[in-house]
């Protein structure tokens, strides 16, 4: 169920930048690029855990940034557990903050959750944050394994999702103090009832 994206105009957004750190999520954006180019998502024998279409997409973006005088580097995630920006460890976030200090701009390639992770990571730095992609739907596809060991998508469809309402805040998954107080009261009544 990877998300599907449309590209945003990164080149216009970086007009005032001198340097940019590109932070790609290696899952949904890579799936989107492979799917729209109708190319294998992974060729395990040839590229192992790199999605060649997405690698090419990023290097094209870097070339275009270079043409307008923006020095760029990719914050690479080699290990599969680092691929998903929505599930990064605190150590990974600290590492990004350290690297981001050397750039005036950070470009996120991923969904709103990826942007949230990057925003939280770069926290106190003065980096400008730019979103390079916009979520437009969810990919519905058939996974297929093709010779010799290529992972491909077949018969893909994009299921549209509606954008969140303006000003909507992320749901807080931690219980509120009122909820905690209610739970404590219920537990205490339960204990009393069983004595």
Site residues, ligand SF4 (CB under 6 A):
3, 25, 27-28, 84-86, 110-111, 113-114
CB of 142 to ligand SF4, least distance (A): 19
Tokens of residue 102, six digits: 């050397």
- Phi-psi category of 39—alpha, beta or left, where left has phi over 0 and alpha has psi -120 to 50? beta
Q: Which is nearer to ligand SF4, 70 or 111 (by Cβ)?
A: 111
Q: Which is nearer to ligand SF4, 70 or 114 (by Cβ)?
A: 114
CB of 194 to ligand SF4, least distance (A): 44
C-alpha 22/C-alpha 89 separation (Å) is 19
CB of 33 to ligand SF4, least distance (A): 12
C-alpha 178/C-alpha 180 separation (Å) is 5
- Output the CA–CA distances (angstroms, integers) from residue 8 to 25, 107, 134, 151, 172, in the order listed: 15, 11, 6, 27, 28
CB of 132 to ligand SF4, least distance (A): 12
Q: Which is nearer to ligand SF4, 162 or 192 (by Cβ)?
A: 162
Q: Which is nearer to ligand SF4, 28 or 127 (by Cβ)?
A: 28
């Amino acid at each position: 169920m990877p998300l599907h994206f449309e590209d945003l105009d990164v080149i216009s957004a970086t007009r005032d930048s001198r340097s940019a750190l590109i932070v790609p999520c290696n899952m949904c954006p890579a799936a989107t690029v492979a799917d729209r180019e109708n190319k294998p998502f992974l060729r395990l024998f040839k590229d192992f855990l790199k999605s060649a279409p997405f690698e090419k997409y990023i290097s094209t973006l870097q070339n275009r940034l270079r043409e307008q005088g923006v020095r760029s580097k990719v914050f690479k995630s080699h290990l599969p557990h680092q691929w998903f920006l929505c599930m990064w460890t605190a150590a990974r976030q600290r590492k990004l903050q350290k690297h981001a200090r050397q750039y005036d701009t950070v470009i996120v390639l991923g969904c709103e959750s990826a942007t949230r992770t990057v925003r939280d990571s770069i926290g106190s730095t003065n980096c400008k944050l730019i979103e390079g992609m916009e979520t437009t739907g969810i990919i519905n596809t058939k996974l297929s394994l093709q010779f010799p060991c290529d992972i491909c998508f077949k018969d893909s469809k994009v299921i549209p999702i509606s954008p969140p309402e303006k000003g909507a805040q992320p749901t807080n998954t931690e219980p509120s103090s009122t909820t905690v107080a209610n739970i404590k009261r219920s537990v205490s009544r339960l204990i009393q009832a069983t004595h």
